[in-house]
């Protein structure tokens, strides 16, 4: 794949890296190269190589504290990919009727193939949605963003209730977890109750069942207070 650029100028590897740095920022996780190794499931040397390329192309800078920062150009590119991913997920759920747990993976392929013309058409057909089906904001949407304060699931006490707002992209990489979330009804907009919480696991209950999370997974599930 190295060196190959598809017709529209899209380069899947570059796009995956920029998108992942955007996700890390969105989750307030410092964008260290080690995080890219984990999330992209590639070797450390491969990440170093690709990061050098992204620096050369002017998309990222390596800061003194060893974190990666998007340049203006890199941020524009990353934002385009994230928007297309989330619009594709909405298309797949709202129009094509795919199961909720399947659309993240499918959108991961489509996001690299959506042209600006197609993107504009998606925004129109989907009525400019504010979020993806996992509750994450679609950058550039004209809708008023949800301003409710968010907490991670890890911040809740046993017995406490909260409304699910966002299932962050990191958690969507775990297909089995998505299936479990859908089966239990742990979806954006639903109220969950913390059943048990320990150093190893947090279990929540929703309408149709319960799901257990590791603390790292629970970090990626953002909730808000019950109105
Ligand atoms: Zn997704």
pLDDT score for 4: 41
Q: Map residue 191 onto helix, strand or coil.
A: strand
Ligand 1 center from residue 175 Cα (angstroms): 11
Q: How high is the mean pLDDT in each 10-residue block of the chain (227 residues)? A: 45 91 94 95 94 96 96 97 98 98 96 96 97 97 91 96 96 96 97 95 95 95 95
Contact (Cβ atoms closer than 8 angstroms) between residue 155 and residue 219? no
Task: Kindly list the domain boundaries of the chain, sorted by start residue.
Answer: 1-145, 151-224
Ligand 1 center from residue 86 Cα (angstroms): 6
CA distances from 189 to 131, 164, 182, 211, 217 (A): 12, 5, 13, 16, 19
pLDDT score for 12: 76
Fold of 151-224: SH3 type barrels. (2.30.30)
Q: Rounded to whole angstroms, how far apart are CA atoms 193 and 158?
A: 8
Task: Give the contacts of 178 (CB within 8 A, at least 6 positions apart).
Answer: 100, 101, 104, 171, 172
Kindly report the number of other CB atoms within 10 A of residue 105's CB atom: 15
Fold of 1-145: Arc Repressor Mutant, subunit A (1.10.10)
Ligand 1 center from residue 103 Cα (angstroms): 7
pLDDT score for 9: 54
Ligand 1 center from residue 78 Cα (angstroms): 14
pLDDT score for 76: 97
């Amino acid at each position: 794949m190295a060196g190959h650029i598809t017709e529209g100028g899209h380069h899947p590897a570059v796009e995956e890296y920029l998108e992942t740095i955007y996700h890390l920022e969105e989750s307030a996780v410092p964008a260290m190269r080690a995080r890219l190794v984990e999330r992209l499931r590639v070797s450390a040397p491969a990440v170093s190589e690709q990061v050098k390329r992204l620096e050369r192309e002017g998309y990222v800078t390596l800061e003194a504290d060893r974190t990666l920062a998007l340049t203006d150009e890199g941020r524009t590119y990353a934002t385009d990919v994230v928007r297309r991913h989330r619009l594709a997920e909405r298309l797949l759920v709202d129009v094509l009727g795919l199961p909720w747990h399947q659309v993240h993976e499918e959108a991961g392929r489509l996001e690299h193939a959506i042209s600006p013309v197609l993107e504009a058409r998606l925004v129109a057909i989907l009525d400019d949605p504010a979020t993806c089906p996992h509750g994450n904001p679609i950058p550039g949407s004209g809708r008023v963003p949800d301003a409710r304060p968010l907490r991670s699931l890890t911040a809740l006490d046993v017995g406490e209730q909260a409304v699910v707002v966002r299932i962050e992209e990191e958690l969507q990489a775990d297909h089995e977890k998505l299936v479990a979330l859908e089966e239990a009804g742990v979806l954006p907009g639903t109220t969950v109750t913390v059943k048990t919480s320990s150093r190893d696991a947090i279990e929540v209950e929703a309408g149709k069942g319960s799901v257990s999370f590791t603390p790292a997974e629970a970090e990626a599930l953002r909730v808000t207070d019950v109105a």
